[in-house]
Amino acid sequence: MAVIVRYIVVRNGEEKMTFATKKEADAYDKMLDIADNLFEFLDKSELKLPEEQMERISLLLAENRDVVMPILRGVSPRKQAPAKPKKSLEKSEDNADAGPSEAAPAPRRKPAKN
């Protein structure tokens, strides 16, 4: 019998994503925290957007924070690599493998230093 360790990110009692490592799960959880904060910011702004649209914008900005942060600092977006489109977040399915579920992409990881 094999023992498989899984790290599951749960928000408001709902399973969001399953990961093979704690580091990946923590990074995804942090991205969701950022998206929640962005949603609150948009909700309190003068913009009156539908809730679903605010949620999608919040997730888009949180998922692409490595591209968005330099833009907010005043760096021209033309100097940045174009952001790849991401799938929308959905509830993960319970798969037999120990990797991230197919419901949504895992956060980007920095390349290992040699």
pTM for this model (two decimals): 0.62
Structure tokens at 24: 């990946």
9, HSE (Cβ side, Cα atoms, 13 Å): 28
| pLDDT in the model for residue 58 | 95
Domain ranges of the chain: 21-71
Q: Tell me the CATH class for 21-71.
A: mainly alpha
Residue carrying structure tokens 């230093």: 113
Which residues are bridge partners to 9 per DSSP? 17
For residues 64-83, one letter each, b for 16 or more C-beta atoms within 10 angstroms of the residue's C-beta and e for the rest, the string is: bbebbeeeeeeeeeeeeeee
Burial code of 26-51, b = ≥16 C-beta within 10 A, e = fewer? ebbbebbebbeebbeebeeeeeeeee
pLDDT value at residue 26: 94
Question: What is the predicted pLDDT for the residue at 94?
Answer: 43
pLDDT tens-place values along the chain, 114 residues long: 888 899 999 988 889 899 999 999 999 999 999 999 999 999 999 988 999 999 999 999 999 999 999 988 888 776 555 556 555 444 444 444 444 444 444 444 444 454
Q: What is the pLDDT of residue 7?
A: 92
- The pLDDT assigned to 82 comes to 56
- Per-residue confidence (pLDDT) for residue 84, from 0 to 100: 61
Query: How many helices (H) and strands (E) would you count in the chain?
Result: 3, 2
**CA pair distance 98, 5, nearest whole angstrom:** 7
